[in-house]
Structure 1
Amino acid sequence: MCRHLAYVGPPQSLGRLVVEPPHGLYRQSWAPRRQRYGTVNADGFGVGWYADPDPVPARYRRAGPIWADRSFADLARVVRSRAVLAAVRDATLAGADAEAAAAPFAAETWLFSHNGAVAGWPGSLAPAARLLPPEELLSLEARNDSALVWALALHRLRGGDEPGRALAGTVAQVAGAAPASRLNLLLTDGTTIAATAWGDTLWYLARPGGGTVVASEPYDDDPRWREVPDRTLLTVSRTDVLLTPLEEPGDPLACAPAKESRT
């Protein structure tokens, strides 16, 4: 389910990242090339971006398919940002939460998306939900698995975890409770990106002139796209892309991270 993308780097228009690429998110909403689960992502979409000097991102979300929204096409043409997170949605279960269930989810300076599904939802995560403070549960944006996964990750961020550690801990927690889950998570604060590959595809493109795109699948045929191995945490700064194997629930990390420096 779902396709998503994040970008940090020199300012780009939303259209250049989402609409204009020949196989971008816009087209992936009806014709993804590498999606393993589901074929059409028409159950909503969303885009979040940062406008300097405001550190709090703006969002545009809708319950319908991205291709049917003429207002977004106009918005995407003129809005530029140094950091973007966007997603098109194929719902795990039909629900009544409309655009509230569409990524990106947001809190403070963060934007978040989940590509995948929690096995056995909602019962499988009931024990994890009980560990959250009641006010955080009552603040969920939607009644779906992605919103709760975001609440678990946000709880770790607010507790002091850096982004990669927060995502890795969330994946271990959810996969431990629901082993068959697919947990490709994507997080940005407007400066960095953290992402996990856990059960679905993930790629990144480090541009020589600056800027990095992390996406469920390549939006064009540029040979510089690199696939992220499954069970991997990816972190992006302004200078580096770091890949770190994710531990299976209950097992220690077996490998040291590998780093790619951009020039």
Structure 2
Amino acid sequence: MAAVRSATVGMPIEISATAPFTDGEWLLSHNGVVDRAVLPLTSLSESVCDSAILAATIFERGLDELAGTIAQIGTADPLARLNIMAANGSRLLATTWNETLSMLQRPDGVVLASEPYDDDDDWTDVPDRHLVEVTVDGVTLTTLDATKGP
């Protein structure tokens, strides 16, 4: 996983606000912005940055609840952009919520990126408000349902 940070105006520029965020075997990155007022209070965040608080919330609820967590927070903040990518070495999860996400599938792996990094015709757009799960068994896309929170 690689993450490049372009700090949101008003957010701190500090190492604890920079992805990837970690929790045990998981790495997590957030591309987007969310109003901190809609995020639950958590003592696990090492920064007041929206991405750090969001990551702490996701880790606290568990990655199996990622779809519901993103749908709940995205519904609470209509302007939120919530692309999350989380990986543990055998499983890759990604969400798209009001932000672009592209996928390139190859026999030897899958690339997920905010946008294609080359002109390969095999890039596909992941539909908005979806969860992508990549495992050794393949790729699954699931609609993020705002009525199903964690």
Instruction: Work out whether the TM-score is over 0.5.
Output: yes
Q: Deviations over 1:193-232 (max 9, x none)?
A: 0001111110111112x11111111111122111101111
Alignment map for 1:78-227 (pairs within 5 Å): 85-118=1-34, 121-125=35-39, 128-129=40-41, 132=42, 137=43, 139-157=44-62, 163=63, 165-208=64-107, 210-227=108-125
Q: How far is the alpha carbon of 1:141 from its aligned partner?
A: 2.5
Q: RMSD of the TM alignment (CA)?
A: 1.8
Of all paired residues, the percent bearing the same amino acid is: 44
Larger radius of gyration between Structure 1 and Structure 2? 1
Q: How far is the alpha carbon of 1:98 from its aligned partner?
A: 1.7
Q: Structure 2 length normalisation: TM-score?
A: 0.89
Contact persistence 2:74–2:97 (CA under 8 A) = no
Q: How far is the alpha carbon of 1:189 from its aligned partner?
A: 0.7
Q: Structure 1 length normalisation: TM-score?
A: 0.53
Contact persistence 1:149–1:170 (CA under 8 A) = no
Instruction: State the AA in 2 paired with 1:140.
Output: S
2:134 is the alignment partner of 1:250: no
Q: Which has the higher helix share?
A: 1
- Mapped to 2, the partners of 1:141 and 1:187 lie a distance apart of 18
Secondary structure in structure 1 of the residue aligned to 2:2: strand
Q: Deviations over 1:48-107 (max 9, x none)?
A: xxxxxxxxxxxxxxxxxxxxxxxxxxxxxxxxxxxxx11111211244442221111111
Equivalent in the alignment of 1:67? none
List alignment gaps of at least 5 residues for structure 2: none
Instruction: State the AA in 2 paired with 1:214.
Output: L
Aligned structure 1 segments of 4 or more residues deviating by more than 2 angstroms: 93-97, 121-125, 249-252
